[in-house]
Structure 1
């Protein structure tokens, strides 16, 4: 792989671009299509006022980046965080393009965010901010244009506010403008658990491919939010042994396995995993380096880097988060023969179930959860096989294979459509 500077390693957009360039080169991608696909098609930055509870007027900065809409409307979450920045949103939007293409659903990639700290805002302030942000970018949203979803710092309530704001402007209820909504206003059964369930599905496929056994397979998960907790619960039910949970405020370790149902109830009551008696306290950074068969980074970007990759002991890394492994770390892990299930495949259960929700909203007909889970398993198992076959055919690692497969599909669509001039 091409040499990556330290700045590129920690910058998600530069890291994504480096991987794209490498995959495009392996594909011998046409130079014109290379230029089209390397950059987002639209970047929106808005600065908007919100009346706070104490009477102050605060001005917030929001983003919406649409990377590609060649295969369908843009699709991607909206995150609320003090750390949101344009490079991060750009990278996440492009990852969404490749993610949708890898699982072969008819969406392009988009992403949004607002610089704020939702933990320090009241529900009223969050609602006013969400509605004003939606109004600022409303001309770029729509079921056939760009369909947001929840992400870090947002949830189904935020999606309900966005849907309602959009609907008020359209003068009719438009449930399909967002996904990840509450069930009673057009949400889909199984959507909340889908990313975690998808991680379980691709881990099953990886063990089958590698000839490993599921029962007793030791798993360490970084992050116990929606993705990590659902992956832990579903995988425990399948027979995996969850021996470690790493959170931002501490970690837990039990070599005999952690009872995830009990841990989930403890966290619900106490707001933290710290103090749980079913496991010993453990340094969360050291947990990533602890012996296990499967490591699932399911929290944030850049947790496996050149500074710790050589000490990873896992046989399989399944990327529940977006961009948890840097490009430099990829090279180190490849030398160690670690089998990586890349983020654009591993955590695509969420966007796949979002596609199901969008379809159901547009049909006005809603599926039973068993059908959602059945369709999810079918799509992800087939996509895993597609990526592994591509990897073997082109003699590249799984991540580059996933990028090549996705770029090939998007580029083929653009060539079919032609360039409007």
Structure 2
């Protein structure tokens, strides 16, 4: 019954999406679904869309010249190879495993079909659950009960741990096998053997080989290799050993069981006449490395990963989501309690812990409906990115997380580093939501990464270019100017963005050719087959392109200028088609945040000026202090600060406030170097700098020498001499400068730089967080209790994404202008940009967009950036003082209410009514001003009715 329904669904997909004629589709499906043509479990472990893609690959694209074709499943966790040989040899499988070694392999299956094509499916660890037909659930539960009984009857010590650790896909495969439960019980025995042993276990037996319901005359020989806590390369070591004996393998299976200790089970099936005695002796003599306890994934790390996956709102079950939030809340409570020693030092947990402080203030920290809207992820995409390295093809793990896009397309950088992690990308996308909301730019939160060391490609620039272009193609389908806009981040500068841009361009060209009808059937983009219907959906949803407009599709398919213009808004920070104001924006914005914080402290009597200010100068500072979003809305398009006033501030007032003030900076990279340069013009006294080489302490350290050293071969300040009184070697040792006496401390390098251990010893008046997460949640509490003003990370370093927003606006405007004038032959109107422009600066931004990029527009973008940051600082500083909370809590309150407002507006009336009833009155009162903000008009054409519905 299931197969018949599945066959019908796949047939429709082949006909409608892949444009395969009915006769061809029927012939293929009859073959594909015939008895034992494919393993029975295959049809239960793959979605109809995945099977349809496989069929198309296998029957339409695989040819005599192909070594293999590959496909990635819908959730990006399994890569399937169709190998053009009859049987897997150890060498061929070994190469495929080696290609995917960086993918953190959890299991693989290698089988051959009746037609002689081999299928190899490799799955990453932590595979998300998939939908299981209801009728299979009872079989799975019965099988697990039988497993519990078997474990008890045989006196297994680790049986329950095994049963609790196996993945859902394993269970589904098992209950749909020819002999349900046999593998499960066999593996339970293997698991018990491995847990009791500190070395490789080799187990030989025979396996009945079945075709349909009939048993063949001869059994296969089965060799099971089992090991506790295996290193990633152990399977390759075993396959290399088998290869020496020239033994063909009929099929091979690998499962990594992640219990209290992980156990790897490699099962190899060979012809009954294969002589494996010498092979067994040889394998027993091989020394196989295992992980010690310190190398294993900790329980805490797995717990965080599990929580994050459960918070993906598209995939998570309601109860799983609730359990995850409750578990997270308990961890956050422990993580924030300064009365307890010890910290988790996990960026995600610190971020959510600080979020919960704001949720408690708003009275929604236990409100599951509200928390689901603010904590849940929209998508967490994973990719296999093909790269050529050391003359070998390898797949590297790539990620793209979208946390919340209620206020606009997701926005966030791409990290390229060997330590990129799933939980780190998720944490950064979470923080990008609040960073964008706090700046009021019309973006949501996203982040991505590629686990790759750029330094490995220093000798081969072409391979690096190809790898990053492949990364661009891999994430192409889930990004786009109106859906998700990446940028650069750690390891991804303008050059790397240029490489990614070329990948985006080639993918968009293929997509347009497919939608236009020049390319037939499908397009292969990255490792994914894109059907005609999928191409049209991506063009419409991700690029705002009408796929029915033949003129637009023709231009996109044939004109590189237009292709560049459409692609340009898909990524920011580009070496070409960017804006000059994006360069150095993070450091410039950090400086603005320090200037305005010190202004507020001075006017409150908490900062002593180096030189007395005149009454007129103080009056000008009071004008700065009055800047907030309401004033900005009222003043548009006229800036609140005139050119003459800004000149006086820059040349006279700020030097009086900052001259001689002691500054310590941790980090000499882009942000650290930039902020040192920005503050230097006001006469600050740089007394300490630290980086990866160590630290220097002194008096009036020489900025020009510092910049020269960090840009030279040393890339460190450690060899600086001028003004240096003390030199400290080593990054860990150099961190002691954080506790030196200073006026302004700027951690602009590492996460968890200020912790419970050193926060009590911080002696600065202002801590300005240039990096992401430099203060742990406990450190934030301690610094606040010491009345140290902390300019928190997603405000202090938020200028980079704000400048990226400006670049995005420029790119969209240039594209729309071309479409109007060159394609549609009509006069261009800037009004088309209204739905993308933040309304506080609508006319001001339009005045900039009218002009070509140059010195004037760069200056205007920077002044706009300044006013946004001054407004943020003033609003948080005032809210903090009035409500007795830290500035970071104030920032989370502001950004959470802004996101919540947009989310509620976009709901249907019934859903909105349910959510509104669960919001405390305190929060409802605060929400009123957010609903009155003009940006809400961008989310609904019916705002008057919605406000009447909620507030009357």
> Which TM-score applies when normalising by structure 2?
0.43
Q: 1: CA distance between counterparts of 2:875 and 2:368? A: 25
Q: Give the CA deviation at 1:108.
A: 0.3
Matched, 1:202 2:593: yes
* CA distance in structure 1 between the aligned counterparts of 2:763 and 2:492, rounded to whole angstroms: 33
Structure 2 counterpart SS, 1:261? helix
Is the CA contact (8 Å cut-off) linking 1:258 and 1:279 kept in structure 2?
yes
Deviations 1:29-85 (CA, angstroms, capped at 9, x unpaired): 464131121122110111233111x31122211111111111001111111122211
8 Å contact kept, 1:20–1:38: no
Aligned position for 1:153: 491
- Seen in structure 2, the aligned counterparts of structure 1 residues 396 and 88 have a Cα distance that, compared at 3 Å, is same
**Hey, what's the Cα distance between the residues in 2 that align with 1:258 and 1:338?**
25
Deviations 1:302-353 (A, max 9, x none): 1111111111111110000010100011122122211100001000111111
Q: Distance in 2 between matches of 1:179 and 1:9?
A: 34
Q: Which moved more, 1:77-86 or 1:316-325?
A: 77-86
Superposition map of 1:54-93 within 5 A: 54-93=390-429
Question: Any idea what SS the aligned residue of 1:10 has?
Answer: coil
Residue 357 of structure 2 is matched in structure 1 by: 22
- Is 1:383 matched with 2:872? yes
Paired position in structure 2 for 1:108:
444
CA contact (8 A) 1:102 1:383 kept: yes
* 3-state SS in 2 of match to 1:252: strand
Match of 2:719 among 265, 268, 275: 275
Give the TM-score of the pair, scaled to structure 1. Answer: 0.94
Measure, in 2, the Cα distance between the counterparts of 1:153 and 1:109: 20
The whole-number CA distance in structure 2 between the counterparts of 1:161 and 1:393 is 49
* 1:303 alignment counterpart: 753
- State the distance in 2 between where 1:50 and 1:2 align: 42
Number of equivalenced pairs: 417
- Aligned counterparts of 1:355 and 1:46: Cα–Cα separation in 2: 26
1:179 is aligned to 2:572 = yes
CA contact (8 A) 1:233 1:261 kept: no
Secondary structure in 2 matching 1:295: strand
**139-148 or 361-370, which moves further after superposition?**
361-370
| Cα deviation digits, residues 97-120 of structure 1 (max 9, x gap) | 100111110000111111122223
Matched, 1:231 2:695: no
The 1-side partners of 2:685 and 2:810 are apart by 35
Q: How has the CA–CA distance of structure 1 residues 87 and 243 changed in structure 2, closer, same or farther, with 3 Å as cutoff?
A: same
Residues 9 and 326 in structure 1, CA contact (< 8 A), matched pair in contact too: no
Per-residue deviation, 1:134: 1.7
Q: Distance in 1 between matches of 2:446 and 2:665?
A: 27
Contact 2:343 2:756 in 1 (8 A): no
CA contact (8 A) 1:290 1:312 kept: yes
Q: Distance in 2 between matches of 1:300 and 1:143?
A: 31
Q: Where does residue 772 of structure 2 map in the other structure?
A: 322
- 1:32 paired with 2:519, answer no
Q: Which contiguous aligned blocks of 4+ residues in structure 1 show a shift greater than 4 angstroms? A: 5-8
Tell me how far 1:18 sits from its aligned partner: 1.6
Q: Distance in 2 between matches of 1:63 and 1:354?
A: 21
Q: Which range moves more in the overlay, 230-239 or 124-133?
A: 124-133
Q: Which residue of 1 aligns with 2:470?
A: 132
1:231 aligned counterpart, secondary structure? helix
- More relative contact order, 1 or 2 (CA 8 Å, 6+ apart): 1
Give the Å deviation of 1:8: 6.2
Aligned to 1:333: 783
Q: For structure 1, which runs of at least 5 residues remain unmatched after alignment?
A: none
Could you report, residue by residue, the CA deviation over 1:153-173 in whole angstroms, capped at 9, with x for unpaired residues? 110011111222112222211
Could you tell me which runs of 5 or more consecutive residues in structure 2 were left unpaired when the two chains were aligned. 1-331, 510-562, 608-656, 815-851, 912-952
Asked if 1:404 corresponds to 2:889, the answer is: no
SS at match of 1:190: helix
Query: What is the root-mean-square deviation in Å for CA atoms of aligned residues?
Result: 1.8
2:387 pairs with 1:50: yes
In structure 1, what is the equivalent of residue 35 of structure 2? none
1:118 aligns with 2:454: yes
Q: 1:292 to 1:419 in 2, by over 3 A?
A: farther
Question: Is 2:481 aligned against 1:143?
Answer: yes
Q: Aligned pair in 2 of structure 1 residues 307, 124: CA closer, same or farther (>3 Å)?
A: farther
Tell me whether 392-401 or 406-415 shows the greater mean CA deviation. Answer: 392-401
Q: Work out which of the residue numbers 807, 812, 815 in structure 2 matches 1:362.
A: 812
2:580 aligns to what? Answer: 189
Distance 2:685 2:786 in 1: 23
Indicate yes or no: 2:792 matched with 1:342. Answer: yes
120-129 or 13-22: bigger deviation? 120-129
Aligned 8 A contact 2:401 2:429 in 1: yes
**2 CA distance for matches of 1:186 and 1:8?**
44
